[in-house]
Amino acid sequence: MSFLYQQLALQLQQQIEQGQYRCGERLPAVRELAKRRNLSVATVVASYRKLEAEGYLMANSRSGYVVKARYQPPPLSNAPLPQTSPSMVSSQQMALTLSKAAADSRYMALGAAVPAPAFLPLHALQKALQHIVKSEPARLLRYEASSGAMELRQQIARLMALHGAVVAPEQVIITNGCQEALMLSLKAVTQPGDIVAIESPAFYGLLQALQAAGLQALALPCDARQGLQPDVLQQALAKWPVKACVLIANYSNPLGSLMPDAHKQQIAAMLTERGIPLIEDDTYGDLGFSGPRPASCLALAPQADIFYCSTFSKTLSPDLRLGWLIAPKHTARLEYLKFISNISTAALPQLAVAKLLQNGQYQRHLQHVKPQYQAAVAAISNQIGQLFPQGTRLSQPQGGFVLWLELPSAVDANLLAQQALEQQISIAPGAIFAPALAGNKPAFDHCIRLNCAVLQDARLGRALQTLAQLCQQQLARPGSPG
Ligand SMILES: Cc1ncc(COP(=O)(O)O)c(C=O)c1O
């Protein structure tokens, strides 16, 4: 639940972004706004100060709070496509460090893509969990079915239908998060040593899954706004014996790109023609900033061989460990693979989430949290524009809550991540979003990803300032071309 001053700040931020208050224009005087909105003066002052810290306003002794000129860093460059070849994945140790930092309150957790508790519906979850403990005690004292609780599978089938994917509840397999859905999918269609086509930069959890399964990654360069382009995939398929392709078509992690529906259809058709399964990770599909919920590849190409993977980790809570997998052509095999991996997923979170879906609280929470994620991304983009060295480029995500930064090429992002950790700030260095290619300079070694779903407070402002200073120090090193 956010405080009143945060709610007011969010509304004012949206008004500024929509151009209702323009650069140089004065916001209503504190007392006037407090009276108009029936709020205390302290609440209005707190929200103005928040917007000042985020770079939207400046305090002017004569005119009160004035909208500041905003500097948006330029968008990511669509660099010429490098030649790619398949390679084994290694060195995902940093990802474990980020995961630990996300659970340690001493760290400013800008590394792992984990929403701070303030973005999650704690109250609704508590009530639903308590309700299940009271009403269904017997369900909690046995193994749940390997494919999951039917109550949740039914609700997920309804949720999928909202964005055009018509599936039967019996085709839904409940997993321990999307990570398990990805791992089961890969297990179902590959053998160790096989080549899997992935996006570049790629979500590092996928790289971990490839490493665990002994698979080779063929990392395909992606467009910053549209994701993987069909012609790039086509060329790769002509050259390499690809056994599966993994994509995040909706609001990818880390770029935030959204693939046009026509490209989803073309890619599904291209893979179907060659008998290659498509593993679709739709983790962020429900978290778009505007417009209707984008369709999944599964919805657009129901006849294709698709493994649809998703999760409640970014919408309800990562600790539920609750995801799902739908691959209509492989349901029986996946149920067996789930059974031999870890028998089943616990009933308690499944039944509680089924309740939140059934009583509409899931959808209500989405309506509430999507503008908050959007505002957090906008506020951090703005601060990066004000603080970071010239030459910094920034993704323009259309959903989700992560930002991808291309820093000036002389910045060593691995070193930056180490230096930041020493100051108790975690960030994700670009190198962990790519398989290491033997003998090559690591990819994305001057890029970082930031998690924006953190409390928008003074601590965040200080952390961004520290990161910007560390970049400047690297650029000022003797011999640095920056
Ligand atoms: C794109 C993507 N897929 C999968 C996952 C893993 O999700 P889960 O926590 O449900 O295993 C994440 C988490 O960061 C993610 O960003």
Residue 155 has pLDDT above 90, yes or no: yes
Q: How far is the CA of 114 from the centre of ligand 1 (A)?
A: 9
CA torsion angle 291 296 299 305 (round to 10): 170
Q: What is the CA radius of gyration of the chain?
A: 23
Query: Rounded mean pLDDT of the chain?
Result: 92
Q: Among 54-63, 421-430, 466-475, whose mean pLDDT is lowest?
A: 54-63
**CB of 311 sitting under 6 A from ligand 1:** yes
Q: How far is the CA of 386 from the centre of ligand 1 (A)?
A: 30
Q: How far is the CA of 256 from the centre of ligand 1 (A)?
A: 14
Instruction: Give the residue-averaged pLDDT of 332-351.
Output: 97
- State which fold the 141-362 domain adopts: Aspartate Aminotransferase; domain 2 (3.40.640)
Q: How buried is residue 220: exposed, middle or buried, by Cβ count under 10 Å (0-12/13-18/19+)?
A: buried
167 with 326: CB under 8 angstroms?
Answer: yes
Q: How buried is residue 272: exposed, middle or buried, by Cβ count under 10 Å (0-12/13-18/19+)?
A: middle
Q: How far is the CA of 138 from the centre of ligand 1 (A)?
A: 31
Residue to substitute in 246, 283, 320 for testing ligand 1 pocket (most ligand atoms within 8 angstroms of CB):
283
Q: How far is the CA of 283 from the centre of ligand 1 (A)?
A: 6
Cis? peptide before 201, omega within 30° of 0: yes
The whole-angstrom separation of Cα 108 and Cα 204 is 20
406 with 429: CB under 8 angstroms?
Answer: no
Residue 73 has pLDDT above 90, yes or no: no
Query: Which is nearest to 335 in space by CA: 153, 142, 343, 160?
Result: 343
Return phi, psi of residue 53, to 5°: -65, -30
Atom of ligand 1 nearest to the CA of 248: 1
Percent of the chain with pLDDT over 90: 77
Write down the number of H helices and E strands in the chain: 16, 15
Architecture of domain 4-67 in CATH? Orthogonal Bundle (1.10)
Residue to substitute in 178, 257, 259, 432 for testing ligand 1 pocket (most ligand atoms within 8 angstroms of CB):
178
Residue intervals of the chain classified under CATH 1.10.10.10 are 4-67
Residue whose CA is closest, atom 16 of ligand 1? Answer: 253
Residue whose CA is closest, atom 14 of ligand 1? Answer: 113
- State which fold the 102-118+366-475 domain adopts: Aspartate Aminotransferase, domain 1 (3.90.1150)
The whole-angstrom separation of Cα 216 and Cα 198 is 10
147 with 338: CB under 8 angstroms?
Answer: yes
Residue intervals of the chain classified under CATH 3.40.640.10 are 141-362
What the block records as the tokens of 338 is 């789930």
Give the model confidence (pLDDT) of 97-139 as tens digits: 878 887 788 899 999 999 999 999 999 999 999 999 999 999 9
Within 10 angstroms of residue 372's Cβ, the number of other Cβ atoms is 19
Residue intervals of the chain classified under CATH 3.90.1150.10 are 102-118+366-475
Atom of ligand 1 nearest to the CA of 112: 14
Atom of ligand 1 nearest to the CA of 323: 10
